Amino acid sequence: MSCLAAAVSASPDALIGQPAPDFALRTFSGQNLRLSESLGDVVIINFWATWCGPCRQEMPLLDDIQAKYRRAGLVLLSINLDEDQARAEEFARTLKISYPVLVDAKKEVAKAFQVGNMPATVLVDRSGVIRYVSDGYKSGYEKRYTDKLRELLNE
Amino acid sequence: MFRKLILLIALAGATLSLSAQEASTPAAEPTAAAPASDAASTQTAPPEDFKSMDQEVQSLKKDVLDLNRELFVLEEDLLFPANTQIAVFVSMDVGEFFALDSVTIKLDNKEVANYLYTEREAQALLKGGVHRVFIGNLKTGDHELLALFTGQGPHARDYRRGATIKIEKGVGAKYIELKISDRASKAQPEFVVKQWE
The whole-number average pLDDT for the span A9-30 is: 84
* B98: enclosing H helix or E strand: none
Cβ distance B118 to A24 less than 8 Å, yes or no, reads: yes
d(CA A92, CA A104): 15
pTM (global) more than 0.95: no
- Of the pLDDT bands very low, low, confident and very high (cuts 50, 70, 90), residue B32 is very low
- Of the pLDDT bands very low, low, confident and very high (cuts 50, 70, 90), residue B27 is very low
Q: What is the pLDDT of residues A98-147, one digit of tens each?
A: 999 999 988 999 999 999 888 999 999 999 999 999 988 888 888 889 99
Same domain, B117 and B177: yes
Same domain, B130 and B170: yes
Same domain, B75 and B91: no
Residue A149 has pLDDT above 50, yes or no: yes
Cβ distance A32 to B120 less than 8 Å, yes or no, reads: no
Cβ distance B118 to A33 less than 8 Å, yes or no, reads: yes
Name the residue range of residue B187's domain.
85-196
- Of the pLDDT bands very low, low, confident and very high (cuts 50, 70, 90), residue B186 is confident
Same domain, B72 and B103: no
Question: Domain tally for chain B?
Answer: 2
Query: Could you tell me the CATH number of the domain that includes residue B97?
Result: 2.60.40
Partner A contacted by B101 (CB < 8 A): yes
Residue B5 has pLDDT above 50, yes or no: no
Which domains does chain A carry? 2-153 (3.40.30.10)
Cβ distance A34 to B119 less than 8 Å, yes or no, reads: no
What pLDDT shows up at residue B37? 46
d(CA A102, CA A85): 10
B155 CA: distance to closest CA in chain A (Å): 16
Cβ distance B121 to A34 less than 8 Å, yes or no, reads: yes
Which residue among B28, B51, B79 closes a domain? B79
Residue A9 has pLDDT above 50, yes or no: no
- Sort out which chain B residues have CB atoms less than 8 A from A109's CB and list them: none
Same domain, B95 and B192: yes
Partner A contacted by B118 (CB < 8 A): yes
What pLDDT shows up at residue B22? 46
Confirm whether the ipTM is greater than 0.90: no
Cβ distance A32 to B115 less than 8 Å, yes or no, reads: no
Same domain, B12 and B104: no
Same domain, B100 and B40: no
Q: What is the pLDDT of residues B47-88, one digit of tens each?
A: 677 778 888 888 998 999 899 888 888 887 777 777 778 999
Interface test with B, best of A22, A26, A27, A32 (most B CBs within 10 A): A32
- Sort out which chain A residues have CB atoms less than 8 A from B120's CB and list them: 37
* Interface A-B: count of C-beta contacts within 8 A: 20
* Other residues' Cβ atoms within 10 Å of the Cβ of residue A127: 11
Phi-psi bin for B8: left (phi > 0), alpha (psi -120 to 50), beta?
alpha
Range from A4-13, A38-47, B106-115 carrying the lowest mean pLDDT: A4-13
Please state the φ and ψ torsions of residue B128, each to the nearest 5 degrees.
110, 0
* Other residues' Cβ atoms within 10 Å of the Cβ of residue A62: 22
- Sort out which chain A residues have CB atoms less than 8 A from B116's CB and list them: 24-26, 32, 34
Residue A148 has pLDDT above 60, yes or no: yes
